[in-house]
Amino acid sequence: MSLPVRIATLLVAFLAVVGGAVFILIHYLLGGPPVENFTAGVRPDTGAQVSVVMQEDPQNTVSTRPDWVSYFIKSPTTGAWVHTTLFTVPAGSRVNMTILGYDGCTPLRNPYWGRVTGTIGNVIRVNGKPTSLINSWSGCNVGHTFSIPALNVNVPMASPGLTATLCGTSPCTSGPHKVVTFSFMTPRHSGDYIWQCRVPCGGGFLDGFGGPMQTIGFMTGSMQVVA
């Protein structure tokens, strides 16, 4: 090989690697799910209330991962369901959560995660009825959990009945579901709080903890607290 050909070959190989790196950076790091902002017009650290509405579904809207279970967040500005698990809330505020549980049940590995912790009054309401425990070993009745480990928030999400025909197109707008409501206080300082589901709901993955369970935008996300 002549020197110019060698140089050209090296250059092409080099550019291919750089191109690949740029693609990975943009696609995986910068191209993540959008962040829904619940801080607009709210003064932090005043105990103000914000309302966050989510749903969890048996499927999602991503064509390459159609059968992954997923959360959605309702945009506070447009009212549209957004496929994301990232949101911001004001510090020192009360977050009133409403989560629509459209997905079917999967028993919890550890019955402890059926216990409600970290909410105001250590209570949630399932279709309006107060409860502090959903025993997923006594019946198949928990679809997912909404858990913020650093704040000790753990909320089991009630599921439709075992024989219900689940909503088949996401984001779900009809079909059997449970409405779970609860409130918690955000810390008085800024911070990033990882939240996750604790049900091994990654069907087809080892122990059910892969796939949607470890992917932001599906069963894990982040609540950013802004002071």
Residues in contact with Cu ion, counted by CB under 5 A, come to a total of: 5
Interface residue with Cu ion, options 74, 83, 144, 178 (CB under 5 A): 144
C-beta closer to Cu ion: residue 92 or 208: 208
Which residue's Cβ lies closest to Cu ion?
A: 197
Separation CA 38–CA 52 (nearest Å) = 8
| DSSP codes joined into one string, 59-115 | S-S-TTSTT--EEEEE-TTT--EES--EEEEETT-EEEEEEEE-S-----SSGGGGB
Say whether residue 54 binds Cu ion (CB under 5 A). no
Say whether residue 199 binds Cu ion (CB under 5 A). yes
Separation CA 71–CA 171 (nearest Å) = 9
Which of the stretches 29-37, 71-79, 90-98, 217-225 binds Cu ion when contact is defined by CB under 5 A?
217-225
Residue 219 beta carbon to Cu ion: minimum distance, rounded to whole angstroms: 4
By CB atoms closer than 10 A (0-12, 13-18, 19+), residue 86 is: buried
Residue 201 beta carbon to Cu ion: minimum distance, rounded to whole angstroms: 3
Residue type at 174 in one-letter notation: S
Say whether residue 197 binds Cu ion (CB under 5 A). yes
Rule CB under 5 A: which residues touch Cu ion?
A: 144, 197, 199, 201, 219
